[in-house]
Amino acid sequence: MSVLNLDAEGKEVLMMGNEAIARGALEAGLQVAAAYPGNPSSDIIETLAKVAGEMGIHVEWSVNEKVAVEVAAAAAVSNGNALAAMKQNGLNVACDFLLNLNLTGIRGALVVIVADDPSGISSSNEEDSRIFAKLADLPLLEPATFHEAKEMVRYAFDLSRQIGNPVIVRSVTRISHARGNVVLGPLPKERPPLRFDTSFPLCPLPTALTHPVLHRRLAQAADLMADSPFNTYDGPDAPELLIITCGAGWLFAAEAVDLLGLGSRVGILKVGTTWPLPTAFLLKHLKTTERVLFFEEVDPVLENNVLQLYAQHNRELPRIEFRGKGSGTVPAIGELSPDLVMDCLSKVTGVQPPEIDPAYAARAKRAIDGYAPVRSLAFCAGCPHRASLWAIKQAIALDGRNGVLFGDIGCYSLGIMSTGFFQLKTLHAMGSGAGMACGFGSFERLGVDQPSLAICGDSTFFHAVVPSLINAAHQQSDFLLMVLDNGGTAMTGFQPHPGTATDAMGKPAPRMSIESICNSLGIETFVRDPFELQTATETVYDLIQKRSGPKVLVLRQQCALVRSKKEGRRYRMTIDSQRCIGEECGCNRLCTRVFKCPGLNWDKGLNRSSIDEAICVGCGVCADVCPTRAIVREGA
């Protein structure tokens, strides 16, 4: 049995923030959970899927976030308890539906978890999705610890059912992807029966009627959350400085106050119910101070809302100096950290952090500058994307018309960097490479003669590329879409998708064929193995010579991490020291300087290439890159 559904009330366990969120949902009587994978949110559904059978609940990886929220909403309008989870970009995809669902309301409970990624650690952007709560007039909760994440999600289900509308819980990387102590609560024995009441429809029109209802529901949420245990104050009765914070900022602020010895002078007000604001609680504490400092990630959402509250109540409040992102005291971008919070606090209070021995600091600086070479992002050893991009690079060069490779979000996004030979020229949203390439392939009459190419992943194909292909087929756009099919949603941890033969719960599922879908649209479709470099290169080259509407090439090879775990090494790689003649060769170290798979190394002493046996996974591709055939593959 997983710790996730362990029936052991009161037991204290170590849980990842995402597991705590999932546990909170189970403690609330979860019945349906759906998501599309995206870090830092993926583990929520992944851990729920593992216990779905035992718990008798429905858990799915949906084709995209909009469908995930729709699947969850189907339960939530039928008296059920449902959860949808996503990363910040995912909420963009889902919000069209969500901003209509809020007007009809629900007849059960729906908790939407959005895990933001301040600093874009595993994302293309760092958007602050809390703005959506205000836009949609939906309540927003933000946990500050792992245990609180669990408690808050459980509470969010109750709140959602009481107000009859979805509730958003916003986590961040430092909560979702971190681990901490969580005390388990009871798992409910009974869950509400799922039934859709057909006596009246759910329709957002006329808005003159539904919009006021939405506002009433939000006001009701404000009343219910007024005395929430998630809003706390710790510090002196009349603090010199009041820190107002939420989410991960709270833990950093508490530690910074300790390290600077400011506990008797500075108070910390933690807001857990960030929208609508807990006005009475905030006003009570704003009356006690003349200086306020905000810490939150990423945008000044709480800050601006509190400033608005202050403006509305300025007659009953003291003159307050507000510091935060608006004043430039706290950086306007990126995630918070203990040192950043300590620096800001130090700036505002004039109290300096403890100093380190200057000789040690100098040695430390030398260590970083001289002994820790930067590790650029790179494809894994044996990654099929390296081979695919090598083939694409050769084909575009052979073609000579300066072809453009449009791309999107996935491991293959690294194609924009040196590890992908700088082949990718655009990187935006899921599926946007195909859409842009479809456009660029339609501009012949405008004098465009550069070939239009796009890559996407197999999971991305289903998520967002299919509509672009339909568009391309209808518009007869001349472009080549290459689907880098590595057999799963690799970047987020190999979750299944409609093209895999199992579902989230590990049960057999019908496998959608990428090539059948493309063929059914009347699009010529080919399948190649990128490890067969020569054939893959020739196919890409041939396809960009054809001016006959859209073409699809599936470059299919399993993710190296999955393959090496399942099959071990395909080949044992060695260097033929007679053939590798080092700098004298004339190849200018093509294998390590340009192809640079991490399984290869250049032995400066021997002036030869070498194989790192702890890293090489034996894909064998480098043997075809070496012009003198000095890299040798033997059956492992």
Partner 1 sequence: MKDPYNVIVAGVGGQGNVVGSQLIGAMLVDMGYRVTIGETYGASQRGGSVMSHLRISKARQYGPLVPPRCADLVIALEPSEAARVLGRYGNPDTVGVVNSRPVYPVDVISGVLSYPPADELLQTVESLCAKTYVLEATERALELGNPILANIIMIGAVAAAGLLPITEEGLEQAIREHMSADKVDINLTAFRIGGEMVN
180 binds partner 1 (CB under 8 A): yes
Listed residue (576, 636, 635) closest to 606, CA to CA: 576
Of 204, 263, 439, 598, the residue at the interface with partner 1 (CB under 8 A) is: 598
CB 151 within 8 A of CB 3: no
Q: For the beta carbon of residue 583, count every other beta carbon within 10 angstroms.
A: 11
Which 445-504 residues touch partner 1, going by CB under 8 A?
490-491
Give the nearest distance from C-beta 600 to partner 1 in angstroms.
6
Partnered with residue 633 across adjacent β-strands are: 573
Region binding partner 1 by CB under 8 A among candidate stretches 202-210, 300-308, 430-438, 585-593 = 585-593
Could you say whether residue 631 binds partner 1 (CB under 8 A)? Answer: no
Question: Which one among 23, 50, 130, 147 touches partner 1, defined by CB under 8 A?
Answer: 147
Residue selected from 215, 216, 365, 547 as contacting partner 1 according to rule CB under 8 A: 365
Q: Which is nearer to partner 1, 407 or 451 (CB)?
A: 407
Segment lying near partner 1 (by CB under 8 A), choices 57-65, 344-352, 518-526, 612-620: 612-620
- Contacts by residues 496-499 (CB-CB < 8 Å, ≥ 24 positions apart): 496/61, 497/61, 497/63, 497/458, 497/459, 497/462, 497/463, 498/63, 498/462, 499/458, 499/459, 499/461, 499/462
CB neighbours of 605 closer than 8 A, spacing ≥ 6?
A: none
- Residue 183 as a binder of partner 1 (CB under 8 A): the answer is no
Between 60 and 148, name the residue whose CB sits nearer to partner 1.
148
- Is 208 a binding residue for partner 1 by CB under 8 A? The answer is no
Binding region for partner 1 (CB under 8 A) out of 217-225, 302-310, 431-439, 595-603 = 595-603
Query: Does residue 122 interact with partner 1 by CB under 8 A?
Result: yes
For tokens 């990423």, name the residue.
298
Pick from 601, 611, 620, 621 the residue near partner 1 by CB under 8 A: 601
CB of 585 to partner 1, least distance (A): 14
Q: How far is the CB of 6 from partner 1 (least distance, A)?
A: 10
CB-based contact 171:143 (threshold 8 Å): yes
Q: Which one among 366, 474, 511, 547 touches partner 1, defined by CB under 8 A?
A: 366
Q: Which residues contact 365 (CB under 8 A, 6 or more apart)?
A: none
- Among 179, 291, 313, 425, which residue sits at the site for partner 1 (rule: CB under 8 A)? 179
Number of H helices, E strands in the chain: 21, 23
Is residue 59 within 8 Å of 504, Cβ to Cβ? yes
| Rounded to 5°, angle at Cα 258 from 253 and 264 | 100
CA count, 13 A, side-chain hemisphere, 378: 14
| Contact (Cβ atoms closer than 8 angstroms) between residue 301 and residue 128 | yes
Q: Kindly determine how many residues on this chain lie close enough to bind partner 1 according to the rule CB under 8 A.
A: 68
Cα 556 to Cα 384, 482, 484, 526: the distances in Å are: 8, 10, 6, 10
Q: How many CB atoms lie within 10 A of CB 635?
A: 9
- Given its phi and psi angles, is residue 357 left (phi above 0), alpha (psi -120 to 50 degrees) or beta? beta
User: DSSP letter at 169?
Assistant: E
Q: Any contact of residue 574 with partner 1 (CB under 8 A)?
A: no
Q: Is 379 in the site for partner 1 (CB under 8 A)?
A: yes
The answer to whether 439 contacts partner 1 (rule: CB under 8 A) is: no
Q: Decide whether 474 or 565 has the Cβ nearer to partner 1.
A: 565
Mask of contacts with partner 1, 386-425, x by CB under 8 A?
Answer: -------------------------x-xx---xx------
Pick one of 329, 592, 607, 628: the residue that binds partner 1 (CB under 8 A).
592
- Contact residue for partner 1 among 35, 84, 251, 271 (CB under 8 A): 251
**Least distance CB 137 / partner 1 (angstroms):** 32
Query: Does 567 contact partner 1 by CB under 8 A?
Result: no
Q: Which residue from 363, 401, 511, 629 is in contact with partner 1, where contact means CB under 8 A?
A: 363
Q: Reduced to 3 states, what is the DSSP secondary structure of residue 445?
A: helix
Identify residues 293-332 at the interface with partner 1 (CB under 8 A). none
Q: Which is nearer to partner 1, 188 or 353 (CB)?
A: 353
- Shortest distance, position 511 Cβ to partner 1, whole Å: 24
Q: 């857990």: which residue's tokens?
A: 272
Name the residue nearer to partner 1 (CB basis): 55 or 342: 342
Closest to 83 measured CA to CA, from 160, 25, 15: 25
Q: For residue 616, with 0-12 CB atoms within 10 Å meaning exposed, 13-18 middle and 19 or more buried, which class applies?
A: buried
Q: Whole-number minimum distance, CB 19 to partner 1, in Å?
A: 11
| Listed residue (601, 570, 592, 575) closest to 384, CA to CA | 570
- The residue within the footprint of partner 1, chosen from 51, 163, 218, 342 (CB under 8 A), is 342
**Any contact of residue 248 with partner 1 (CB under 8 A)?**
yes
Question: Do 332 and 128 form a contact (C-beta atoms < 8 A)?
Answer: no
Q: Which residues contact 550 (CB under 8 A, 6 or more apart)?
A: 438, 441, 469, 472, 473, 476, 477, 478, 479, 480, 481, 523
Interacting residue with partner 1 among 206, 374, 584, 605 (CB under 8 A): 374
> How near is the Cβ of 42 to partner 1 at its closest, in Å?
13
Selected binder of partner 1 within 132, 146, 157, 275 (CB under 8 A): 146
Does 255 bind partner 1 (CB under 8 A)? Our answer is yes
The two three-digit tokens of residue 214, written as one number? 């939405």
| 545 binding partner 1? (CB under 8 A) | no
For binding to partner 1 (CB under 8 A), which residues are involved?
3, 12-14, 121-122, 145-147, 174-175, 177-181, 248, 251-252, 254-255, 259, 337-339, 342, 356-357, 360, 363-368, 370-381, 411, 413-414, 418-419, 490-491, 561, 589, 592-594, 596, 598, 600-602, 612-615
